[in-house]
Amino acid sequence: MDYYTLLKFGHIVGFILLGGGLLAVFISEFQAYRTTDMKVFAEAARYTAIFYDSFAVPGAVLVGLSGLLLILELGLGFFEEPWLVGMWGLFLFELIEGNTVTRFQFRKTLRRSREALERGDQLTDDLRDEVRGLFNQIVHFLDIPLFTVIVYCGTVRPDSWTHVFIAIGIGLIFTTLIKFFVPRIARQQGQ
């Protein structure tokens, strides 16, 4: 097996881990939105942390490292191809956002839910809203649509900035729809 094939394999495995982790986090967050039970809410927060740290973060590290080495191996310029700039630009954005805003949000949710569980508190809308503010919801729901745009850029390799920006625009539209509908659907199912 040559070096390029090994890097490509690592890149694919990294995307599988990252995508699987993001989907698992989404499902555990959906469960947190659905429930009215503090114990289930705290458990969902714990699973969010586990999935994020066990799959999404190692996947992101593998994607980032193998992607950088692939760019160097293939002699691609970092700014020459729109699809490549789209991939690494969105990846860096998601990496920074995921390790700052998202990490802070899910750690706060985990901490506050454990404290409330230990005190025997009930899950209230006030507590739920405190740990899941509007900004945190928006950046959290960006993960899967922007991940999909990154995969689009890597597989389709659009050679025009127009196609990259259209894909990002579609991703933002889906983020808005997810942000608007998922909490409502989850709460309706939980009642």
Strand blocks (E) in 36-161? none
Q: Is the pLDDT reported for residue 132 higher than 80?
A: no
Lowest mean pLDDT among 43-47, 66-70, 135-139, 169-173: 135-139
Residue 191 confidence class, pLDDT cut points 50, 70, 90? low
Q: For residue 144, what pLDDT band results from cuts at 50, 70 and 90?
A: very high
* pLDDT of 190: 62
Cβ atoms of 102 and 146 closer than 8 Å = no
Let me know: does 83 contact 157? Beta carbons within 8 Å: yes
Whether 61 has a pLDDT exceeding 90, the answer reads yes
**pLDDT for 21-55, tens place per residue?**
999 999 998 888 888 888 998 999 899 999 999 99
Q: How many domains does the chain have?
A: 1
| Residue 176 CB contacts under 8 Å (≥ 6 apart), including other chains | none
The pLDDT of 115-140, averaged and rounded, is 81
Whether residue 103 is predicted with pLDDT greater than 90 in this model: the reply is: no
Task: Give residue 97's domain range.
Answer: 3-190
Residue 1's pLDDT band (boundaries 50, 70, 90)?
A: confident
Distance CA 127, CA 140 (A): 18
